[in-house]
Amino acid sequence: MFFPQEIIRRKRDGHALSVAEVQFMVDGITTGQLSDSQVGAFAMAVYFNGMTAEEATALTCAMRDSGQVLSWQHLDLPGPVVDKHSTGGVGDLTSLILGPMVAACGAHVPMISGRGLGHTGGTLDKLESIPGYSITPSTQQFENIVKQVGIAIIGQTGELAPADKRLYSIRDVTATVESIPLITGSILSKKLASGLGALVMDVKVGSGAFMPDFAQSKALAESIVTVANAAGVRCSALLTDMNQPLAPSAGNAVEIAETLRYLKGDTSAQRLHHVTTALASEMLLSSGLAENQQQAEQKLADSISSGAALERFAKMVSALGGPSDFVERSEHYLAKAKVVKPVLARHSGMVSQLDCRALGMAVVGLGGGRSVPGAAIDHSVGINGLVEIGDLVDKGQALLTLHANDEASWQAAAKQIQQAITLVEAGADFIQPQSVYQRIAAC
């Protein structure tokens, strides 16, 4: 017989817990038999003492099994089940692009995504820019869309990993969010409950990342890869740059518009294209749909040039309640801000730095994100046409176009944005930042 206070004491004193002890704690979190104070104490003990790979795997699997675990075998899918997850960033719309691309290459992508957190944008908030799009279909609807369309992007249901939902809410108010084993368990419990055969992680590094420190980001990637593979899901991770927004757009409706531009063949946003291709190629390779990098990249390029990826996106939108002609008439459906005008450079120079977090917070300040949980989102606001690090600009040239719903909000955001973009004298020493730093795979 286990006693929660004794398990908390053992972890507090730096001991490794058994699988049975971890299971007991997760069961108590799920059923409510553990009080909030006990859950908080357990989280704090893990925060200070960490977990072994075996403990982290036990925690992840127990949280995965605390609710519904999807299985796709009964649907006799003709292709592999694979997903991608990002730790979040600004202008990160890769899920919206690569999901349809990978589905067009023969995969099935049951993508359970989240809302914006802090300065980072949320995939669900972006999709809700589309009138009628439902992020909460029934399990049967979700399964049918994944089978028929190949891709469905929805929100977490109450049946998936309920232990994580309670544990995270307590971590959020007990200063224990930044714990690698707890982050690992939180991310993977939901993803593994989706019944995946393979998972690719996009772990962000830089000023706009959840973990801006490279060493911490790498440690998180290694933890996720180790635990996922131990839990029976093929997993690899890419460390990617978030020292500037990934796409030239940040917001909700503006990122949907950016998604459509890309899927219609405009892949000129090089950083977005590079990271999307790298992640999507990893998905094809890990799920056996490509034999090598060159073949993977060719299949992905073909999915764009043939229109197959765009068609998958259109079918997903329609199947989840959006307009059947959304792709053709997106400008008619997407909300438009009342004040849309460029922010101009005050002097000439080269863009040497973009404060990614500050740019994200400027969008939040416009109403494009939440300052308190549950707040309403203004889908029309945001930025697009953003310059990149290394660009040369003249005085009076547009740094970006800013979308706001009144002049006062536009002026306040423009001031933040001017401070977030650093220009130096042209010709100064400059090294173009990488977009993909490193690949992490199982040993």
Catalytic residues: 83-86, 123, 171, 186, 190-191
| CB-based contact 323:138 (threshold 8 Å) | no
At CB < 8 A and 24+ separation, what contacts does 440-443 make? 440/201, 440/203, 440/218, 440/221, 440/222, 440/225, 440/236, 440/237, 440/238, 440/239, 441/225, 441/236, 441/237, 442/225, 442/226, 442/229, 442/234, 442/235, 442/236, 443/226
* Secondary structure (3-state) at 316: helix
Burial of 69 (0-12, 13-18, 19+ CB in 10 A): middle
> For residue 145, how many C-alpha atoms fall within 13 Å in the half-sphere facing its CB?
27
Crossing angle of helices 94-104 and 308-319, in 10° steps, is 110
343: left (phi over 0), alpha (psi -120 to 50) or beta: beta
